[in-house]
Amino acid sequence: MLIEKEMLMAEVVYHDHNLIPIIGRFGIRMGYDDESIEELCNKHRVNIDFFLTILNVFHDSEYFPQKQMQMFPVGMLVSYLKKAHKDYLEDEIPEIKNLIGSMISECHIDKSTYLLFLNFFDEYKLELENHIYREETKVYPYVVALEKALQTGKADEATMQQMNTYPIAEYEREHENVEEKLNDLKNLMIKYLPTVDDDRLCFRILRELFALEKELNEHARIEDLILVPKVMAMEIAIKNREK
């Protein structure tokens, strides 16, 4: 289903409730009444094209954003991505960690295997944090600086230097490692972790891991499909101008 601005927000959510947190990131909270996407976006001063692009990418993994839908300023995209990062690091990851903690404390036999699992989760967490940290301190500021350089007509030296030493195409390659570790976590749990007494707890952890995986995949797709091409285009535009 292609999500369009005439649709009622409630209807969209009936269709795909996984979108609720994403809609929330735009400041549009539940209690949608019978209002359409367009009405709600206007009310909350949200760019409709941008909103629809993000929702569609999350909703349909085969959706590919059209060029004309990508006219929104890059700062808007960056602030959305940062909000998403915050959710991952402050809510979702700690929640999973808590659940793993409860699983360990409820285990009365040999805890060592579960502690290994927790260790691996911590390792994964660290890798995700590092990736996000790099994005927020290196990549995003660079992206915003590029846009400014294009608007003002002059690029500062640091931006030019980063463009030559660490262009956006480099960064694109970093997503895979994080995904692989999460996949291993799931598989270890499904296939090799000895059973504990509380099945429901295991099930909840697994469900959270699957949900996190889906979210992060779509997040990376937004970065790879929308952010990276946009930035590449800006890099080319600046390079051409400098000639």
Residues near other proteins, by CB under 8 A = 112-113, 116-117, 119-120, 123, 177, 180-181, 183-185, 187-188, 191-194
Name which of 135 and 215 has its Cβ closer to Fe ion: 135
Name which of 46 and 220 has its Cβ closer to other proteins: 220
Which parts of 116-145 interact with Fe ion (CB under 5 A)? 135
Asked if 1 and 14 touch (Cβ cutoff 8 Å), the reply is no
Closest CA to 205 of 127, 59, 88, 92: 92
Coil, strand, or helix at residue 33? coil
Coil, strand, or helix at residue 36? strand
Closest contact distance (angstroms) between CB of 62 and other proteins is: 9
Name which of 166 and 203 has its Cβ closer to Fe ion: 166
Closest contact distance (angstroms) between CB of 174 and other proteins is: 15
If you ran DSSP here, which 8-state letter would residue 8 be given?
A: B
Q: Determine the Cα angle at 207 with ends 203 and 213, to 5°.
A: 145
Closest contact distance (angstroms) between CB of 174 and Fe ion is: 7
- Report d(CA 108, CA 173) in Å as an integer: 43
Name which of 161 and 177 has its Cβ closer to other proteins: 177
Binding flags for Fe ion, 208-237, as an x/- string (CB under 5 A): ---------------x--------------
- Report d(CA 30, CA 86) in Å as an integer: 20
